[in-house]
Amino acid sequence: MPRKKEYSEEEVLEKAMHTFWANGFESTSLRMLEKDMGINQFSIYSSFGSKHGLFVEVLKKYRSYAKTTFMEELLQSKGSLADLRKFFFDFGHAIQSGDCPKGCLIANTGMEVWEKNEDISFELNSHFTFLKETFYVQLEKIKFKEELPKDFDSEKYASFLLGSLQGLSLFARLYSKKEVDTYIDVIIEALK
């Protein structure tokens, strides 16, 4: 009879997510994961198959985390340029304040291991698709409210906002609040 797990997979995934987020995939060792997750290597392999399998599950967890944290307000928005601007400001300032000091786990992973693995690439693409669709829906709502012209290309600018968000993930780690605010203002102005 298999042993009953003495831990919550959701809790250990959350802990693993923060470990990978802080250190990256390559620099995160199994020893670090054991320590931070509070489970042994056998349990990691038993539940997730490998460090790689754990990381794929962490990327899925991150998408859920993003929806319920920094994306939640935007997902609830009725659509306005002010809401879009606030989303970018909140994200940039969270990075600068230390609430999200390592930027975006997905962007970091993309720079580190993008094409090295099909499963990881799939999860990254899924997250980027979710973000782009979220921006597209918001832009369509904003266009409907006539804050943007009727011929505004929401598809094209959703891609632009996706790229801008990924750029902001790095930019906010390197530049002052004033420069980040200017960067965000330029992003929003480019939509008009």
132-170 residue pLDDT tens: 999 999 999 999 999 999 999 999 999 999 999 999 998
Contact between residue 105 and residue 182 where contact means Cβ atoms under 8 Å apart: no
Q: What is the DSSP string of 14-70?
A: HHHHHHHHHH-TTT--HHHHHHHHTS-HHHHHHHHSSHHHHHHHHHHHHHHHHHHTT
Give pLDDT, residue 4: 61
Looking at residue 175, what DSSP letter applies? S
Look at the chain and count its residues: 192
Residue 5 has pLDDT above 80, yes or no: no
Residue 169 CB neighbour total at 10 angstroms? 22
Q: If we measure between CA atoms, which residue out of 187, 158, 170, 71 comes closest to residue 111?
A: 170
pLDDT one-digit tens code per residue, 69-125 = 889 999 999 999 999 999 999 999 998 887 776 778 888 888 887 667 888 989 999
**Which domains are delineated in the chain?**
7-68 (1.10.10.60), 73-192 (1.10.357.10)
pLDDT band, very low/low/confident/very high, at 2 (cuts 50, 70, 90) = low
pLDDT for the residue 1? 45
Spatial contact of 6 and 44, defined as CB atoms under 8 Å apart: no
Residue 29 predicted with pLDDT over 80: yes
- Spatial contact of 73 and 83, defined as CB atoms under 8 Å apart: yes
